[in-house]
Amino acid sequence: MKQIMTTTIAYSHLRFLIAALVVLATFIGCRTAPISGRKQVIMIPEQQEIEMGRQAYEEVLAEEKLSTNRHYIEMVNRVGKRIAAVSGKDDYDWEFRVISSPTMNAFALPGGKVAIYEGIMPICENEAGLAVVMSHEIAHALARHGGERMTQQSIVNGLGRVVEYASRNREQKKRDRIRALYGIGTQYGFTLPYSRKQESEADQIGLMLMARAGYDPTEAPRFWRRFSQQNGEKPPEFMSTHPSDEHRAADLQAMLPEAYKEYESAPEQYALGQPIFTSETLNAGALAKQSPAQSQSPASAATTNKIQPASGSEPPSYPDPFRKYPDPFKK
Give the pLDDT confidence of 216-251 residue by residue, as tens digits.
999 999 998 998 887 655 544 434 556 677 888 889
**CA-based end-to-end distance of the chain:** 31
What is the number of other CB atoms lying within 10 angstroms of the CB of residue 203? 25
Find the angle CA(15)-CA(16)-CA(17) to the nearest 5 degrees.
90
Helices (H), ranges, 29-144: 46-63, 70-85, 121-124, 127-142
Instruction: State how many domains the chain has.
Output: 1
| Within-domain flag for 227 | yes
Would you say the pTM of this structure is higher than 0.75?
no
Q: Phi first, then psi: what are they for 223, rounded to 5°?
A: -60, -45
CB crowding 297-308: b at 16 or more within 10 Å, else e: eeeebebebbbb
C-alpha distances in angstroms, 223 versus 9, 26, 128, 229, 230?
47, 36, 9, 10, 11
119 pLDDT exceeds 80? yes
What integer is the mean pLDDT of 285-290?
A: 44
Confidence of residue 32 (pLDDT cuts 50, 70, 90): confident
Confidence of residue 330 (pLDDT cuts 50, 70, 90): very low
Choice between 264 and 165, residue whose per-residue pLDDT is larger: 264
At residue 41, the 3 state secondary structure works out as strand
d(CA 20, CA 12): 12
Choice between 110 and 42, residue whose per-residue pLDDT is larger: 110
d(CA 16, CA 14): 5
| Within-domain flag for 75 | yes
> pLDDT tens for residues 51-70?
999 999 999 999 999 999 99
| Within-domain flag for 322 | no
Kindly state the helix (H) or strand (E) to which residue 5 belongs, with its residue range: helix 2-28
Segment of 228-242, 246-260, 281-295, 303-317 carrying the highest mean pLDDT: 246-260
d(CA 12, CA 18): 10
C-alpha distances in angstroms, 264 versus 83, 139, 189, 252, 260?
16, 21, 40, 17, 6
20 pLDDT exceeds 90? no
Q: Give the catalytic positions in this structure.
A: 137
| Within-domain flag for 238 | yes
What is the number of other CB atoms lying within 10 angstroms of the CB of residue 103? 17
pLDDT the model gives residue 277: 84
Contacts of 196 (CB under 8 A, 6+ apart): 237, 240, 241, 242, 243
191 pLDDT exceeds 90? no
| Within-domain flag for 89 | yes
Choice between 42 and 209, residue whose per-residue pLDDT is larger: 209
C-alpha distances in angstroms, 131 versus 77, 210, 213?
11, 6, 9
Give the chain's mean pLDDT: 75
327 pLDDT exceeds 60? no
109 pLDDT exceeds 80? yes
Domain with 242 in it: 2-301
CB crowding 133-169: b at 16 or more within 10 Å, else e: bbbbbbbbbbbbbbbbbbbbbbbbbbbbeebeeebee
| Within-domain flag for 150 | yes
> pLDDT tens for residues 123-179?
999 999 999 999 999 999 999 988 888 777 776 666 666 666 666 677 776 666 655
Q: Which amino acid would we find at residue 18?
A: I
Confidence of residue 111 (pLDDT cuts 50, 70, 90): very high
| Within-domain flag for 128 | yes
pLDDT the model gives residue 43: 81
Q: From 249, 245, 259, 266, select the one nearest 217 (Cα to Cα).
A: 259
d(CA 323, CA 86): 30
| Within-domain flag for 99 | yes
d(CA 131, CA 140): 14
